[in-house]
Amino acid sequence: MTDQGRWVLADASTAGVVRFGCTTAGSDRIDSVVSLQGDAHPTFTDALLTYERQSGMSLRGAECVLAVPAPPAGDAIPVARSRWTISRSGLNAMFGRPVAVINDVAATAWSLLGQGPGKLEHFGGPGFDFTKPGRWAVVMIDDGVNAAALDVAEDGRCHVTDGEAGNAGFSPSDDNEIELMRKLRQRNLHVSWELALNAGWAEAHAPAAEREAWAALAGAYVGDCVLQLGAWSGIILTGRHVATLRDPRRQALFVRRLEEKSRYGRFIAGGSRAFLSIRDPLAGGLSLLTARRNARLN
């Protein structure tokens, strides 16, 4: 196996756990998948070296893509809900080549290429076809809240744009949401969508009225993501909280609020909608590296 054929994939998006896998150029299979406890490793580098020992795969000379729940900018990248700070230059030195660091929701978007539509649970609008031009919003609503745009151009090249949409300012629209804003504002200087969507209304033990209010709130947030990203082709929802939307009534409230966003609501209404139950940043890393190898990137 040549140096250029060895790929290491890493996923640090789950609090307390980091997952590693490896593959070879041209393969769509991820091998030697290992999950390591973050608490047992003072640094990400320690976890990476443990993986090297356990897998028997030398890191030096391999290509690597790392998915993190943070903006992949700068050299020092703090990992959300973790004590780790990842050094991009340190990783580059370990591998002997530049390491690709991407946001975990962007990695989820990459994972939809290839067999992506088969992973989706469609709940409205046209079917999904990522071989045709379009732009879709991949929206995660979990303990972390974020969105990324998956673009497929006319010539088939692919690109994913990430950001930190969940940290944008929460915009209440009715008395209940204004009261929620007041409560959150007592403890937080900046009230974000992430704080609002994690206020407890989506939990299984919450009263029915709160879960219904959350469904509408989620529709407002996702509508904002579509408008900001220009993702007129549709939305893919993932994260543990979106299970709240499987109830038909709550799903209807979500869709109504989604489609009421601004004067461009009819464009939002014309898009596809689906759930992604299992998101896999490792698979996203593989898709990113494959796209690079096949020159499919914009």
212 inside domain: yes
Helix (H, G, I), strand (E, B) or coil at 70: coil
CATH code of 30's domain: 3.30.420.40
Same domain? For 215 and 134 the reply is yes
Position 270 in a domain: yes
Q: Quick one: 94 and 234 in the same domain?
A: no
Please provide residue 75's backbone torsions phi and psi, each rounded to the nearest 5 degrees: -90, -45
Range of the domain at 150: 112-276
Tally of CB atoms within 10 A around 39: 10
* Same domain (yes/no): 143, 238: yes
Query: 182 in helix, strand or coil?
Result: helix
Domain count, the chain: 2
CB burial readout 128-152, b (16+ within 10 A) else e: bebeeebbbbbbbbbbbbbbbbbbb
Write down the H helix ranges in 41-81. Answer: 44-55
In a domain, residue 187? The reply is: yes
- Helix, strand, coil shares of the chain, percent, nearest 5, are 40, 25, 35
Token pair listed for 5: 């054929």
Whether 298 is covered by a domain: the verdict is no
Asked whether residue 122 falls in the same domain as residue 222, the answer is yes
In 241-280, which residue ranges form alpha helices assigned H by DSSP? 248-259, 265-269
Cβ count within 10 A of residue 244: 21
For position 241, which CATH number holds? Answer: 3.40.367.20
Question: What pLDDT sits at residue 296?
Answer: 53
Taking the C-alpha atoms of residue 225 and residue 138, their distance in angstroms, rounded to an integer, is 9
Instruction: Tell whether 257 and 287 lie within a shared domain.
Output: no
Phi and psi, residue 258, nearest 5°:
-55, -45
Are 146 and 270 in a shared domain?
Answer: yes
Helix (H, G, I), strand (E, B) or coil at 59: coil
pLDDT beneath 50: ranges in the chain: 1-3, 298
Tell me: do 60 and 203 sit in the same domain: no
Q: What is the pLDDT of residue 4?
A: 54
